[in-house]
Structure 1
C-alpha cells in the first residue's frame, strides 16, 4: 500500500506546474504544495515538540491549510482541523482534550488562556518560504499511525476526537478510485469545511490522482447571489457535498447540465439523500451519475455506496445506501448485541478496514462504541438499518432520533420521509416537544413549502394532512406544522434538527 503523501509528492515532482488548488480563480500548483509542506515538515522535525503529539490547525478553506496538513503528516504527526468559525468554547475544549504539541493559526485564534505554543500565519509564511528543506519519507505518518483527528460536533456533550490512521485513509482512497470511476486529473468541488470529514472525500482522492480542487468558500455559499453567479463558471467533474447543499444549488435555474456540462458525477454523504433531491438531479443532469454513500466519521468518511439510477428511483421511495466496500463489512446487531435475524432491522455496525482506533484521549467513550469482532476493529454507529431482498443496506434512522408518543415508537426521519413525498412540500424536519415529565407530548413539523398558494396556513395544513393520509400511519401525523423559508443547517451543511428541538422546548 503506497503512502498517501508519497503519491501526492510523486505528482508534484513529475508535474510541478499542475494546478492543485483553485480558490475563486486564485491558483496554486502541486510544486508549491510540495515545497511548502516539505519546509514545514523540516521545521517541525527540528523543533523540540513532543513526539507523535498531534497539531491543531485553525483556519478556513485556504491553500495554506492543506499545505499545513501535509507538512504535519510528513513530520510524523497527525493534524486536527478546527474551522475558523468555531466558537471560543469549542476551541478551548478541543485543546483540553487533544493536548496538542502546538497550534498553527492561519486565522486569529480565540483567546483561551492556552499554554500550547502557537505558530502564527506570519511565522508559518516565513517557515514555508524557506527553500530546499525536506524530510525523509521514513518520517511520514504510515501504517496505523494517526493521519488526522476530526472532532465530532459535540451538540449533546463534549466533542470527541476521532482518530483516523494512514491505512484507514488509504483504504478509503483506494475504494474511491475503484468503485466510483474517478479519472486522473479530475476537477472536484471542495465546499465542505476541513473540520467536517466530508471534505476528505474530495481532498485526498483528488490530490492522489493529480486533480484540481475547485473551492467554494463559506463566504460564497452563504450569499446566494454570489453562489448562483459562481456555479455556472465552475468546470467541476465531480461534485461532493451534503444533499442539503445540493438542494440550495437547485434553487438556481442555471444549476443544470447546460451550464455545467463537465459535471459527470455527484457523490453525497453526511446525511440522508431524499428521493426528491435525487429525482431533481437526474432531471437536471441526465448524463451524470448520482452516488449515495453512507458512513460515520468513525469509519473514515463512508463505507457503502450505490448509484441512484432512474430504475432505483422507480423501485425505492426511500433510497438505499448501498453495499459495503470490499475490505470491510456491515453487520446488524439486535438490542442484546447479537446479530439480527435475516431480514430484521438492527444497529448498523461496521467491521474491518477504515474503522478508527477510537477517540483521542477518551478511553471510556472508545470502549462504549468500539470493540473487536472476529479479530478486527468494529464500530457501533447508533444507526438503525436492514438489508433488503437485493442485498442493499437501507438506512432507517438514528436510534437517538426515535421517540415514543402515546405508546408508539416513531422514527422522526420516517415522518420526514413521508412529508418529503407531499406535492406541496419542498423539505421538512420533524421534532418532538416534551412535557414537564420529559415525555413526548407532540410532534412538530418544520416545513419549507413549494410554490403553494392557499388562503391561510390552516387550509395549507389541511391539504398536507390529506396527502399524508395516503402514506402515513395516523399515530405518526405531526400535531403542529410550522412553515419556514429555510431549515437551519449545521456548520457542516446538515439539517440542524437538534437546534429545532431546542427551539420548541425552551
Structure 2
C-alpha cells in the first residue's frame, strides 16, 4: 500500500534510476532525470519563501518539464494547478483571479501578461534544473495528508471556473484502489493521452510513477490527426490504455487495431464519459484476452470511485453498461431512492472526496458536506444500484454534460454566447445518439441584426468571439439561426425545450 505518493516515487527512482519514466514520441527521460530535475527545482521554490501551501500554477502541454514542475511543487510543499496551453487568455486570468497563486511556472510561453505574480519561464526552468543541489531536499517539506496535492479547474456556471482541491490523502486513496482492483502491472508502458488539466491524466500519471512504468505520451497534435495517430500507435508498445471511450472509438475504425497487432496491450481503462455497449463489445472481440474496465467518478472525488471489468457475461446481461462497484473505502448512496433500482442523485463520501472548491466557500457549501468523518459530494449525476451492488448512470440533474470526455457546463457556454453584441438570444445544447452519448454541440442563435445575409460570416464571427473565452473542445459544431427561441415561464430561453427539439427524431 502506498502511504505517500511522492516518497513512493522517490524509492522507485532510486531503485530504477536508468529506467525510462517519460517517453514523448521517442524523446525519453529516465527516473533519475525526473527526480533530480524535480529536486533541483523544488530547492529553488523553497528558497523563494512563498506563502505556506500557496498553490503554484503550471502552464504548458504534455511535456516532460510539466511533470518535473508538478513534482517540484509538491516536494516544496505546494499544490500545483495544471493549465493547458490551449486555454484562452481569459480563462488563464480567471484561474489566477480565483486561485491567487504567487508563482507560475511557464513551461511554454504565457500568451498573456499576468500581473502581481512571479514567473519562472522556459529559460529559468532549464537553468534551475541544471544546478547541482548543495544539500539533500528535506522530505518533511513534501505535501502530505490533507495538504492540497493538485487543483484542477473545471467549468463554472457563471463563466468563472471552479478549482477542485485534491489532497495528498485523496490521491493516495485513489492510487491504492487502482493498483489493488485493476490489472496494473509494474513497469508497464502506459498511454498518457489526456492533457494534465483533465483529471483523467491522473489515472495514468501517478500509478505509473509509483510502479516503475513508462508514461507514453500521445499529444493532442497526434490525436487530432488521424493519419498521424494510426502511424504512431503501433510504435508505442503499450501495455495499458487509458482514455475516454471517444478515442478508442476512433481507433476501432482501423481493422488492425486488435490483439494480433498489439499483443502486449493487456489492460483498457475508461473514464470521463459513458462507455457504450457497442464500443465495449467491439473492443472485447478485438482484444478477447485483455481486461477492459469501465469506471466513473467526478473530478471532485479524485478521478474515479467505481469500476467494473467488462466481461462477456456482463455484456450479455446489460444493454446499457454499469459504471461499477464502489471502491472499498468509499460510500455511495442514491438520494431519494427508497429501494434498489430507484433513481436519484448519486452522493459520494470517502477519503478520496475533495474538501471543496478553492476560495469559493458558497459553491463548496452547496455540494459538499461531512458524512461519517469524511466529506460527501452531491454529484448532480442521476443513477441507481441494482441488486448485485452495481451502480448505473442515467444522466445529469442539471445542464452539465460530458463531451469527448470533458465536463462542460452548458450555462458557462451560454453565458459567453449571450455576452456577444451580435447575438440577441442564444443557447448551446447537446445532441445525443442512441447510446445516450453527446455527439455534437448545437448553437441556436437569434442574431442581433435580424436575419443574416451571410450566415457563414456570422458563424465565423461568433466562433472567433467564443474562442477568446472557451476551450476548443467546447466550441459548437453546428450553428442554427432563428428569428426567436422558446421562453420558459420566467422569461428565459427554455433550454430543456431546445434540447428536446434538437434531439427529436428526424
TM-score w.r.t. structure 2 length?
0.81
Q: Assess, with a 3 A threshold, how the Cα gap between structure 1 residues 443 and 362 changes in structure 2: closer, same or farther.
A: closer
Deviation string 1:342-369 (CA, Å, 9 cap, x unpaired) is 4321100101110001000110100001
SS at the partner of 1:51?
A: coil
User: Is the aligned partner of 1:385 residue 2:345?
Assistant: no
Superposition pairs of residues 351-370 of structure 1, within 5 angstroms: 351-370=349-368
Name 2:425's counterpart in structure 1: none
How many angstroms apart in 2 are the aligned matches of 1:427 and 1:379? Answer: 24
How many angstroms apart in 1 are the aligned matches of 2:443 and 2:89? Answer: 30
Count of residue pairs the alignment pairs up: 432
How many angstroms apart in 2 are the aligned matches of 1:40 and 1:158? Answer: 31
User: Is the aligned partner of 1:264 residue 2:266?
Assistant: yes
Superposition pairs of residues 292-441 of structure 1, within 5 angstroms: 292-334=294-336, 340-401=338-399, 416=432, 419-420=434-435, 428=439, 435-437=486-488, 438-439=493-494, 440-441=496-497
Does the aligned pair in 1 maintain the 2:43–2:133 contact within 8 Å?
no
Q: Which runs of 5+ in 2 are unaligned?
A: 402-428, 445-484
Once the two structures are TM-superposed, the CA of residue 374 in structure 1 deviates from its matched residue by 2.4
Does the aligned pair in 2 maintain the 1:98–1:361 contact within 8 Å?
yes
How many angstroms apart in 2 are the aligned matches of 1:396 and 1:253? Answer: 32
Deviation string 1:365-420 (CA, Å, 9 cap, x unpaired) is 000010012232100000001001221101011111599xxxxxxxx99x946x23
Superposition pairs of residues 161-176 of structure 1, within 5 angstroms: 161-176=163-178
Does the aligned pair in 2 maintain the 1:416–1:430 contact within 8 Å?
no
How many angstroms apart in 2 are the aligned matches of 1:156 and 1:222? Answer: 30
Name 1:493's counterpart in structure 2: none
Does the aligned pair in 2 maintain the 1:92–1:112 contact within 8 Å?
no
The CA RMSD over aligned residues, in Å, is 2.2
Does the aligned pair in 2 maintain the 1:243–1:273 contact within 8 Å?
yes
Name 2:72's counterpart in structure 1: 71
Name 1:47's counterpart in structure 2: 48
SS at the partner of 1:21?
A: strand
How many angstroms apart in 2 are the aligned matches of 1:149 and 1:395? Answer: 26
SS at the partner of 1:28?
A: strand
SS at the partner of 2:398?
A: helix
Name 2:83's counterpart in structure 1: 82
Superposition pairs of residues 436-451 of structure 1, within 5 angstroms: 436-437=487-488, 438-439=493-494, 440-441=496-497, 443=499
Once the two structures are TM-superposed, the CA of residue 239 in structure 1 deviates from its matched residue by 0.3
Name 1:27's counterpart in structure 2: 28
Q: Assess, with a 3 A threshold, how the Cα gap between structure 1 residues 311 and 416 changes in structure 2: closer, same or farther.
A: farther
Q: Assess, with a 3 A threshold, how the Cα gap between structure 1 residues 340 and 40 changes in structure 2: closer, same or farther.
A: farther
Name 2:408's counterpart in structure 1: none
Name 1:192's counterpart in structure 2: 194
How many angstroms apart in 1 are the aligned matches of 2:175 and 2:49? Answer: 33
How many angstroms apart in 2 are the aligned matches of 1:211 and 1:193? Answer: 19
User: Is the aligned partner of 1:283 residue 2:298?
Assistant: no
SS at the partner of 1:129?
A: coil
Deviation string 1:6-45 (CA, Å, 9 cap, x unpaired) is 1111111121101001111110000001100000111011
Name 2:112's counterpart in structure 1: 111
How many angstroms apart in 2 are the aligned matches of 1:343 and 1:324? Answer: 16
SS at the partner of 1:302?
A: coil
Most deviating of 39-48 and 201-210: 39-48
Q: Assess, with a 3 A threshold, how the Cα gap between structure 1 residues 310 and 432 changes in structure 2: closer, same or farther.
A: farther
Query: RCO higher in 1 or 2 (8 Å CA, sep ≥ 6)?
Result: 2
Deviation string 1:166-190 (CA, Å, 9 cap, x unpaired) is 0110010100110002111111000
Name 2:412's counterpart in structure 1: none
TM-score w.r.t. structure 1 length?
0.81
Once the two structures are TM-superposed, the CA of residue 318 in structure 1 deviates from its matched residue by 0.6
Once the two structures are TM-superposed, the CA of residue 232 in structure 1 deviates from its matched residue by 1.5
Once the two structures are TM-superposed, the CA of residue 54 in structure 1 deviates from its matched residue by 0.5
Q: Assess, with a 3 A threshold, how the Cα gap between structure 1 residues 180 and 113 changes in structure 2: closer, same or farther.
A: closer
Name 1:450's counterpart in structure 2: none
Residue of structure 2 aligned with 1:149, choices 138, 147, 151: 151
How many angstroms apart in 2 are the aligned matches of 1:264 and 1:244? Answer: 19
Q: Which runs of 5+ in 1 are unaligned?
A: 404-411, 447-477, 482-506
User: Is the aligned partner of 1:95 residue 2:110?
Assistant: no
Does the aligned pair in 2 maintain the 1:56–1:82 contact within 8 Å?
yes
